[in-house]
Amino acid sequence: MATYGRNTLAHLIPVAILVVGAGSLAACGNGEAESGDGAGPDESRGVYAEVRAREVADAWDGSEAAGVWREGYHPVEDVVEPPEGGFHDEADERAFETGNFALRGGLPDLPREDGEVKWQRGGSLTLPLIGARQAYETLDRGDPDGPGLTVTGARLGEMTHATSRGPATVPAWLFTVEGYETSLTHAAVLPSASPAPPIDAARDPSGSELTALDGLVEVARDGRSVTVLAHHGACDDGPRVRVLETDGSVVLSASVAGAADGPCPGRRDIDPVEVELDRPVGERILLDAFTGRPVPYGRPDGTPAR
């Protein structure tokens, strides 16, 4: 999974074997990545996560599901691009991020049923096109807070963005935005469906040793780190994300560190955690050790991952 994020992304067998060589991690942002050596509570979770991660990697590497995934179209950065040069001011940036749009004028019908995704490294995939109205509705999420952006029309064109198979050129809707000379661009094809995983989700007996990741934010341009979203509560030391690298996959194991005993507010925070890798991601599959599935790009609420 090579790339090239523009704006600088899931964990169990008896603990009979301590897997060696799980890869190194670095701390960043509000969360922390770590290797999990030692003997305290967080360290024992690391052993548990490491064994689960090996099980997930063994299930995926060389599997039919992995082959299906690698043939698909899976973006690893936003499928929406602001007008060239960005927005004029903070108000327009906020309108974009909160989905505060208005439509003045009509939107065109689909000129054809299908479009072609073309990878720069070779290969292509034909997928159904989505209509301009459907694409617009993903932008306009109905938040009327403050000034909004006004769309006055659209036409079908192309855009290039990062995917799990490297940069790809895809059909895109080019929206005309009042006050801007260049278009706001939205991919006109949907990501490929994720294949059925070759392993079930983890059954965490403690409810805290492993947690599901909340999404992929970015793959660094050199592929040597990924940034993911992980959640935690109000009475802990934040999320931890460990990594196991194999030739075919990169398995990320999220957990919560330092949870305090006793009553605690029911707040759920989501923080970005940067995970450093021993070698570039390439076309390896980013997997969530808890769910046993590929880590999806974006935030769980559908807002831009930036």
Write the pLDDT tens digit of every residue in 268-296. 788 899 999 999 999 999 999 999 999 99
Whether 31 shows a pLDDT value over 60: the answer reads: no
Residue 225 contacts residue 3 (beta carbons within 8 Å): no
Residue 73 contacts residue 127 (beta carbons within 8 Å): yes
Side-chain-facing half-sphere of 176: CA atoms under 13 Å: 10
- Triad 235, 239, 243: Cα angle to 5°: 155
DSSP annotation of 133 reads: H
Report, at the CATH architecture level, how domain 80-187 is classified. Beta Barrel (2.40)
**pLDDT for res 204:** 62
Mean pLDDT of the residues in the chain? 82
> pTM for this one?
0.78
Q: Between 234 and 31, where is the model more confident?
A: 234
Q: Between 167 and 30, where is the model more confident?
A: 167
**pLDDT for res 131:** 97
Closest CA to 192 of 298, 56, 296, 58: 296
Instruction: Report d(CA 239, CA 269) in Å as an integer.
Output: 10
Sorted by where each begins, the domain ranges of the chain are 32-71+196-294, 80-187
Determine the average pLDDT of the residues in 69-82. Answer: 94
**Quick one: tokens of 300?**
């769980």
pLDDT tens sequence across 107-130: 999 999 999 999 999 999 999 999
